[in-house]
């Protein structure tokens, strides 16, 4: 089983960090293939809690080589501070590899991200403000700065000047902001070059060789399927492809090399930022999910919007990612409800709709059609096997599996590494 993709099946924060860390001990490489430090992955190891933003969650497993692929956008200041934070806690980060083709986030991307959001007013996306969208826009516009540009001063100067040409016009004339000095950006970024140089490698070659040699490579998605710029709830999305295809382009590995695609699926639903969310709750149940589930953003500290499980979305994630398995997380959070509503279809303008509508207008009008499943009150956090779960919890998992279209191969019953029921092996 040489290559697996592990990705978010909903709107992010499904528990990808925990799932990746769990597998980290058995895989040789863990690769981030898209996104940047908009991600916030919490990993709990024993009594230690780690919040990772840019680095792959496999970095906490000593046997695993963490890789930042070409599809990632890298903020070098964040990278270096995350590395030194881990080093201070005794984590060895020396094996990290970074693609020279990955693009850099610069201070002007962050400025543009923030002013754009402000000027969108009520129509804002609710971005993380980390400069992600503007950095990807520059990449597609062919005025991006890549990691490898840090090592050629004259190219770096030319590229930063080119990128700032129109941005400064926009900042000054449209947004009434001060122009950004190309010299200052270049000086700051040249200062990062030597600190990053030793990590930079031809990651595509290394990963393809590793797969050919039978090594196990895990591609770790950031964000989630419904935040995908092509397949998500556009424009309320992030600016990259967290879906399975993104692993191929974002790491330089062909689709024929990937054997398994695991969707991380929360036993209910959350979302951060703006955009449609059919099962969102505005009542005491929503507040209870937020409190019991600890649903507060790791990156921005914002409260996550909470709602019941949505099987239409899970089915869609199975389809657009070709999922082979689900890892169902946070089942323990649902303990204590007498009845647990699950959205099985939508009502859109009087019609029953079983699949995610492709029309944005329809999705904004979608009302959930719920089926109530019986709840359980027993503590499940110590469950080690499926049979240890109360009958109603077993039935809830089986019902979700049947509605979602792929086997649930692991179940999270707590944040810790060992608080997991493995139903089928991933490797």
Which pair of tokens denotes residue 326? 């689900």
Query: Is 381 part of any known ligand binding site?
Result: no
Query: Is 272 part of any known ligand binding site?
Result: no
DSSP sequence for 262-303: EEEEESSEEE-SSS--TTB--SHHHHHHHHHTT-B-TTT-PB
Q: Find the binding residues for ligand GDP in span 44-103 (CB under 6 A).
A: 44
In whole angstroms, give the CA distance from residue 45 to residue 51: 11
Which pair of tokens denotes residue 366? 């979608």
Closer to Mg ion by Cβ: residue 40 or 246: 40
Residue from 2, 8, 24, 286 touching ligand IMO (CB under 6 A): that is 8
Whether 139 is a known active-site residue: answer yes
Indicate whether 37 belongs to the interface with ligand IMO (CB under 6 A).
no
Give the closest residue to 33 by CA, choosing from 1, 3, 60.
3
Residue 73: strand, helix, or coil: strand
Q: Could you tell me the smallest distance in angstroms from the CB atom of residue 333 to ligand IMO?
A: 17
Stretch that binds ligand GDP, among 13-21, 27-35, 120-128, 395-403 (CB under 6 A): 13-21
Q: Find the binding residues for ligand GDP in span 277-296 (CB under 6 A).
A: 294
Q: Specify whether the CB–CB gap between 285 and 325 falls below 8 A.
A: no
Indicate whether 125 belongs to the interface with ligand IMO (CB under 6 A).
yes
Query: Is 238 part of any known ligand binding site?
Result: yes
Query: Is 213 part of any known ligand binding site?
Result: no
Q: Could you tell me the smallest distance in angstroms from the CB atom of residue 68 to ligand GDP?
A: 16
Query: Is 17 part of any known ligand binding site?
Result: yes
In whole angstroms, give the CA distance from residue 247 to residue 195: 27
For strands 73-74 and 103-104, give the pairing: parallel
Whether 41 is a known active-site residue: answer yes
> Among the options 13, 21, 75, 113, which is catalytic?
13
Residue from 40, 133, 242, 252 touching Mg ion (CB under 5 A): that is 40
In whole angstroms, give the CA distance from residue 420 to residue 410: 7
In whole angstroms, give the CA distance from residue 197 to residue 40: 25
Stretch that binds Mg ion, among 22-30, 40-48, 233-241, 373-381 (CB under 5 A): 40-48
Helix (H) or strand (E) holding 87: helix 76-88
Four-CA torsion 66, 244, 240, 400, nearest 10 degrees: -110
Helix (H) or strand (E) holding 383: none
Closer to ligand GDP by Cβ: residue 160 or 408: 408
Q: Total number of residues binding ligand GDP (CB under 6 A)?
A: 23
Q: Find the binding residues for ligand GDP in span 354-413 (CB under 6 A).
A: 412-413
Closer to ligand GDP by Cβ: residue 187 or 379: 379
> Among the options 21, 41, 53, 167, which is catalytic?
41
Handedness of CA 143, 148, 150, 152 (dihedral sign): negative
330 interface partner picked from ligand GDP, Mg ion, ligand IMO, none, CB below 5 to 8 A per type: ligand GDP
In whole angstroms, give the CA distance from residue 10 to residue 415: 18
Closer to Mg ion by Cβ: residue 40 or 134: 40
Which pair of tokens denotes residue 48? 């230690």
Convert residues 142-161 into a mask of x (bound to ligand GDP by CB under 6 A) and - (unbound).
Answer: --------------------
b/e 330-358 (16+ beta carbons within 10 angstroms → b): bbbbbbebeebbbbbbbebeeeebeebbe
Q: Could you tell me the smallest distance in angstroms from the CB atom of residue 309 to ligand GDP?
A: 14
Who's near 142: CB < 8 A, 6+ residues apart? none
- Which positions make up the binding site for IMP? 13-16, 38-41, 128, 142, 223, 238, 302
Q: Which residues form the interface with ligand GDP (CB under 6 A)? A: 8, 12-18, 39-42, 44, 294, 298, 329-330, 332-333, 412-415
Q: Which residues form the interface with ligand IMO (CB under 6 A)? A: 8, 11-13, 38-41, 125-128, 130, 132-133, 222-224, 227, 238-239, 272-273
Q: Which residues form the interface with Mg ion (CB under 5 A)? A: 13, 40
Task: Kindly list the catalytic residues.
Answer: 13, 41, 139
- Which positions make up the binding site for Mg(2+)? 13, 40
């Amino acid at each position: 089983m040489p290559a697996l993709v592990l990705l978010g099946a909903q709107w992010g924060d499904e528990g990808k960090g925990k799932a990746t860390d769990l597998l980290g001990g058995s895989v040789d490489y863990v690769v981030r293939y898209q996104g940047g430090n908009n991600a916030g992955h919490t990993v709990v190891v024993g009594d230690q809690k780690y919040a990772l933003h840019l680095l792959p969650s496999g970095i906490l497993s000593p046997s695993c080589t963490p890789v930042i692929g070409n599809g990632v956008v890298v903020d070098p200041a964040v990278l270096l501070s995350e590395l030194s934070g881990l080093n201070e806690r005794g984590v060895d980060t020396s094996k990290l590899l970074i693609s020279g083709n990955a693009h850099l986030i610069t201070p002007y991307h962050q400025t543009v991200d923030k002013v754009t959001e402000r000027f969108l007013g009520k129509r804002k996306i609710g971005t993380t403000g980390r400069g992600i969208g503007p950095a990807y826009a520059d990449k597609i516009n062919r005025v991006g700065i890549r990691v490898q540009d840090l090592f050629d001063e004259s190219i770096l100067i030319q590229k930063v000047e080119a990128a700032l040409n129109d941005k400064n016009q926009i900042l000054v004339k449209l947004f009434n902001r001060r122009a950004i000095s190309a010299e200052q950006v270049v000086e700051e970024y040249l200062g990062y070059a030597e600190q990053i140089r030793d990590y930079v490698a031809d990651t595509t070659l290394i990963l393809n060789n590793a797969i050919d040699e039978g090594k196990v490579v895990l591609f770790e998605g950031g964000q989630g399927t419904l935040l995908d710029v092509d397949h998500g709830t556009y424009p309320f999305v992030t600016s990259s492809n967290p879906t399975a295809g993104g692993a191929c382009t974002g790491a330089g590995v062909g689709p024929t090399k990937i054997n398994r695609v695991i969707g991380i699926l929360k036993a209910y639903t959350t979302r951060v930022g703006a955009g449609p969310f059919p099962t969102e709750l505005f009542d005491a149940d929503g507040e209870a999910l937020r409190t019991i589930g600890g649903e507060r953003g790791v990156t921005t500290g914002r409260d996550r919007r909470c709602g019941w499980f949505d099987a239409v979305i899970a089915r869609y994630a199975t389809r657009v990612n070709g999922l082979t398995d689900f890892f169902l997380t946070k089942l323990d959070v649902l303990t204590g409800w007498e009845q647990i509503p699950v959205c099985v279809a939508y009502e859109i303008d009087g019609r029953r709709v079983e699949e995610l509508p492709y029309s944005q207008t329809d999705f904004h009008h979608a009302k959930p059609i719920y089926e109530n499943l019986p709840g359980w009150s027993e503590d499940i956090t110590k469950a080690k096997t499926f049979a240890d779960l109360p009958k109603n919890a077993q039935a809830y998992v089986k019902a979700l599996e049947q509605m979602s279209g792929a086997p649930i191969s692991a179940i999270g019953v707590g944040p810790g590494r060992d608080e997991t029921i493995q139903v089928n092996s991933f490797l």
